[in-house]
Amino acid sequence: MDQNRFIVNSGIRRLPVFTDSGADTGRAVEFNPADQGFAEELYGLVSKLSKIHETKVKEYEAETDAAARFDLTREEDAQMRAAVDSLFGEGFSRDVFKTRLFALADGMTVVENFLFALMDEMDASVTENLAKRDSRIRKYTEKYSKYTKKFHN
């Protein structure tokens, strides 16, 4: 450890975002994938997106004019992009998603592909961190148990 600094590992990771064609979007997601607070924010975003979609589907089904239906899908996309940007930063959706968020790609919507990729990253991180935690606690318990014996008889 550097004598002039005390560094606390917060687990923040910076993951650059690329398109499926390999193009760099110029954006990154910065978060601790094992942070329950981020998980709460992400699930909150999923809930917002679901509510937007449910509302627009009802309006879409009630609308008979084709042009008005396209307007509704455009409104839905704009509302969803605003919700995504509220979590990942202004302009994130514009830079990352080159299609509508509810466009289908590989059997899911574009936004679902993005969100599930984040959730997979979170799951892997939690699993990895729990394994590391157990071994580190065991190491420190063994290392400092000599003090317990010496001072706590």
Question: Confidence class of residue 150 from pLDDT cuts 50, 70 and 90?
Answer: low
pLDDT of residue 141: 83
Percent of the chain with pLDDT over 70: 94
Distance between CA 111 and CA 42 in Å, rounded? 12
Q: What pTM value is reported for the model?
A: 0.82
Q: Is the torsion defined by CA of 45, 13, 130, 145 positive or negative?
A: negative
Strands (E), the chain: 13-18, 24-31, 104-105, 108-109
Give pLDDT tens digits for 19-55: 989 999 999 999 999 999 999 999 999 999 999 999 9
Q: Over the range 25-55, which residues count as b (16 or more CB within 10 Å of their CB) and which as e?
A: eebbbebbbbbeebbeebeebeebbeebbee
